[in-house]
Structure 1
Amino acid sequence: MYKIEDIKVGMIESYSQTITDYDIRAFSGLSGDRNPVHLDDIYAEKSRYKKRIAHGMISSSFFSALFGTKLPGTGCVYLSQNLKFRSPIYIGDTVTAFIEVSSVDLIKRHVRFKTYCKVGRSKVITGDAVIYIPESK
């Protein structure tokens, strides 16, 4: 875990994962989102996407993994996140999530991050997040 004093604007971490049918079905069961555009090939073929798409929240959850394990690390608390879903993510796409420090408030112990996911060179999700870092013991 980083101490807040060691976190600097511009620090970046990333995480990559290829989205599978299993991921989509497991997330559907966990979240309760059983929208057929995620689960039904025939339904999805008739949609604007022409094939099944992943839940946007699967890829955006990679930000939480980065915050809790890499930057700032264990013990931090998610305060806010906004997201813009720019393009669909399909089964077989490799998503890379990035978090980048944009500001540090030492008094409030808040760190603001730019957050985004890419498939190839395209940004498919953009947003920003605020994380609270408790005092070290």
Structure 2
Amino acid sequence: MITAFHGQKATLTRTFTKEDVKRSSELTNDYSPVYTMEGNRWTSQYPKPIVPALLTESLITQLISERLPGTPCILVQKDLVYYSPVYVGDAVTAELVVIDIHEKRNWITEKVTCYDSDGNEVIKGQVVVYVLENS
């Protein structure tokens, strides 16, 4: 039984550190120099080290697991657009809003919007989660 409702909203804010990026790189073997700014070739485009997309997405999945729906579920679809990078040291806020509930399939569709500390949209899209029957 799905306990979420249309329009339900949840937010979560986190500031990613250099240590977070380092640990993410170690887990994923993604050592792109844009995460550390080694060589400084990108400083005109990107003035600070960038948080890996996968690490930024973890804020969304944490929000799904802990708050919306906050019950055991499986991510079955995600469609995200990255408008601008999230920088190390900047606070990023993820916001989820329930936009559809498919009771028969136990699916919840949520609109995703992530904002940087200046209130600019950095990620936008949607996710679909399958809520497990025994939750």
Preserved contact between residue 8 and residue 104 of structure 1 (Cα < 8 Å): yes
| Superposition TM-score, scaled by structure 1 size | 0.89
Determine whether 1:93 maps to 2:90.
Answer: yes
Gaps of 5+ in 1: none
Distance 1:31 1:94, change over 3 A: same
Matches within 5 A, 1:49-128: 49-119=46-116, 120-128=118-126
Q: Which has the higher helix share?
A: 1
CA RMSD of aligned residues (A): 1.6
Count of aligned pairs: 134
Determine whether 1:34 maps to 2:12.
Answer: no
TM-aligned CA deviation for residue 118 of structure 1: 0.5
| Superposition TM-score, scaled by structure 2 size | 0.90
Q: Aligned letter for 1:126?
A: K
TM-aligned CA deviation for residue 46 of structure 1: 4.4
Preserved contact between residue 112 and residue 124 of structure 2 (Cα < 8 Å): yes
Distance 1:67 1:19, change over 3 A: same
Identical columns (%): 29
Gaps of 5+ in 2: none
Distance 1:44 1:53, change over 3 A: farther
